[in-house]
């Protein structure tokens, strides 16, 4: 076990009081790892046999006496904490996640007290730092001694024992994390507003370019008035209701000519534009057309689709068009079957019988003949068809058995009469 990385790092973490779980690329992969982590040396030894090269994750949960972590991602957090609280951070167990390239990145561990267990409610991502192991759901951080795959640095700890979380630290973490979260939300909203403004500018520029291409930017009031009349006639001919024409005209006017400005020399102020639109709508010459009739969809009824034709049906259909007599070789060729395969022989026999053919033995090979009338077949062939001969045999056997039974009954009756 000396060369087993997981056992070596996991045993050291277990000795410090951590529950552990194996990791792949900083992600746990065991089922229900946050509910049932590895808490004994026996479990760690068993897991080390299956995953000797995996990293070790420290499972952190909110429980009195259990450790939690402050994951610092930005410089100056500890200095700001001590400056705002006028207190010094207690000495406790720390792990530097990037000891060479980013020494400010670290995990600071404290143990939960009854006060911190009551104050903390959920895990927090505050931006500058994260609070891990303070919520109802257990989370994990990578343990000391594991190698970072991106930089090749080994996570290094200070070797100190884990201290209890002071009450003032818990209060500061709760208040400061709320403030940082609110600032992040406000920053996100501000960026969304900026994006909307940029999109509006882009849309306005596109509309201006389109007006230049169509020539709408050179239209005066007379051209714009004719535009409104033409659009109103189009909407009326389409059968639009009168109470909707005004709003639709205004929307189309803004889309083609841009926003309405009070000092536009080629247009009108908003109130004057609305009056122009109402005067156009009230004009008696503007006649409302009839909307196209709404015809119900003609039902075609229920369509029953026949299933696709099977190979059996196709072969029977082909066999029914065969001539009166055919050799077995011609039958196999027409039905596209191989006479050397037993299954194809059985298929050919069943298909020909279903099509109304019977087999007769020829000189070299069997000959199939089509049967149209049983009496004609019997007259020409001098015998009954195979199916009729089968029934004749059954009938003759039944009659012979019946005669034998009657003779036995008569014999028994004669013996009885002789006795009496």
Does 242 lie in the same domain as 328?
no
State pLDDT tens for residues 237-291.
Answer: 887 887 888 899 898 888 888 888 888 888 888 888 889 888 888 888 777 666 5
Does 167 lie in the same domain as 67?
yes
Last residue of a domain, one of 345, 370, 395: 370
pLDDT at 290: 61
CB 288 within 8 A of CB 242: yes
pLDDT at 208: 81
Does 365 lie in the same domain as 326?
yes
The H-or-E segment that residue 274 falls in is helix 270-282
Q: Comparing 94 with 335, which gets the higher pLDDT?
A: 94
Q: Is residue 21 part of a domain?
A: no
Closest by alpha carbon to 130, among 177, 179, 67, 163?
177
Does 169 lie in the same domain as 98?
yes
In this structure, of 215-219, 276-280, 319-323, the range with the lowest mean pLDDT score is 215-219
Q: Is residue 240 part of a domain?
A: yes
**β-pair partners for 124:** 131
Q: Is residue 38 part of a domain?
A: no
In angstroms, rounded to a whole number, what is the distance separating the alpha carbons of residues 90 and 162? Answer: 10
Last residue of a domain, one of 158, 182, 206: 182
Q: Is residue 212 part of a domain?
A: no
In angstroms, rounded to a whole number, what is the distance separating the alpha carbons of residues 154 and 59? Answer: 20
Last residue of a domain, one of 282, 298, 328: 282
Q: Provide the domain count of the chain.
A: 4
Q: What is the mean pLDDT of the chain?
A: 83
Contacts for 83-89: CB closer than 8 Å, 24+ residues apart: 84/172, 84/176, 85/168, 85/169, 85/172, 87/166, 87/168, 87/169, 89/169
Q: Is residue 194 part of a domain?
A: no
In angstroms, rounded to a whole number, what is the distance separating the alpha carbons of residues 183 and 19? Answer: 34
Does 275 lie in the same domain as 366?
no
Mean pLDDT within 344-354: 86
Does 247 lie in the same domain as 142?
no
In 3-state terms, what secondary structure has residue 90? coil
In angstroms, rounded to a whole number, what is the distance separating the alpha carbons of residues 171 and 176? Answer: 8
CATH number at 358 reads 1.10.10
* Interacting residues of 118 by C-beta distance below 8 A, sequence separation 6+: none
State pLDDT tens for residues 92-126.
Answer: 999 999 998 999 999 999 999 999 999 998 898 88
Q: What is the DSSP letter of 302?
A: -
* Interacting residues of 146 by C-beta distance below 8 A, sequence separation 6+: 9, 23, 55, 56, 154, 155
Q: Is residue 1 part of a domain?
A: no
Does 276 lie in the same domain as 229?
yes
Task: Give the tokens for residue 408.
Answer: 């036995």
- Give the domain range for residue 414: 385-420
Does 398 lie in the same domain as 363?
no
Handedness of CA 130, 158, 49, 51 (dihedral sign): positive
Q: What is the pTM of this model?
A: 0.54
* Interacting residues of 127 by C-beta distance below 8 A, sequence separation 6+: 73, 74, 180, 181, 183, 184
Q: Is residue 376 part of a domain?
A: no
What is the Cα 330 distance to its own chain's centre?
55
């Amino acid at each position: 076990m000396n060369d087993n990385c997981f056992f070596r790092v996991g045993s050291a973490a277990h000795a410090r009081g951590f529950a552990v779980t194996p990791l792949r690329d900083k992600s746990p992969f065991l089922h229900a790892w946050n509910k049932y982590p590895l808490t004994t040396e026996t479990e760690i030894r068993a897991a080390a046999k299956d995953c000797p090269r995996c990293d070790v994750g420290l499972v952190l949960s909110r429980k009195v006496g259990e450790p939690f972590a402050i994951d610092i991602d930005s410089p100056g957090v500890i200095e700001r904490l001590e400056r705002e609280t006028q207190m010094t951070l207690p000495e406790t167990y720390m792990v530097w996640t990037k000891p060479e390239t980013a020494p400010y990145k670290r995990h600071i561990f404290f143990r939960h007290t009854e006060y911190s267990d009551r104050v903390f409610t959920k895990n927090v991502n505050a931006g500058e730092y994260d609070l891990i192991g303070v919520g109802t759901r257990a989370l994990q951080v990578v343990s000391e001694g594991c190698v970072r795959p991106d930089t090749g640095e080994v996570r290094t700890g200070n070797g100190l024992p884990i201290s209890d979380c002071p009450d003032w630290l818990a209060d500061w973490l709760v208040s400061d994390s709320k403030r940082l979260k609110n600032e992040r939300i406000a920053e996100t909203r501000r960026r969304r507003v900026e994006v909307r403004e940029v999109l509006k500018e882009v849309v306005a520029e596109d509309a201006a370019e389109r007006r230049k291409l169509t020539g709408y930017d050179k239209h005066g009031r007379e051209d714009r008035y004719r535009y409104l009349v033409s659009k109103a006639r189009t909407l009326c001919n389409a059968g639009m209701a009168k109470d909707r024409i005004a709003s639709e005209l205004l929307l189309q006017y803004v889309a083609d000519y841009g926003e309405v400005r009070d000092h536009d020399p080629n247009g009108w102020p908003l109130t004057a534009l609305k009056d122009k639109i109402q005067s156009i709508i009230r004009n008696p010459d503007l006649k409302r057309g009839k909307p196209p009739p709404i015809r119900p969809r003609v039902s075609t009824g229920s369509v029953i689709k026949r299933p696709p034709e099977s190979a059996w049906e196709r072969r029977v259909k082909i066999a029914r068009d065969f001539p009166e007599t055919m050799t077995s070789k011609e039958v196999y060729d027409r039905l596209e079957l191989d006479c050397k395969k037993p299954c194809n022989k059985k298929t050919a026999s069943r298909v020909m019988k279903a099509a109304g053919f019977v087999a007769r033995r020829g000189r070299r090979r069997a000959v199939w003949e089509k049967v149209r009338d049983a009496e004609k077949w019997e007259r020409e062939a001098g015998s009954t068809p195979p199916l009729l001969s089968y029934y004749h045999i059954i009938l003759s056997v039944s009659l012979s058995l019946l005669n034998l039974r009657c003779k036995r009954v008569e014999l028994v009756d004669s013996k009885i009469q002789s006795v009496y």
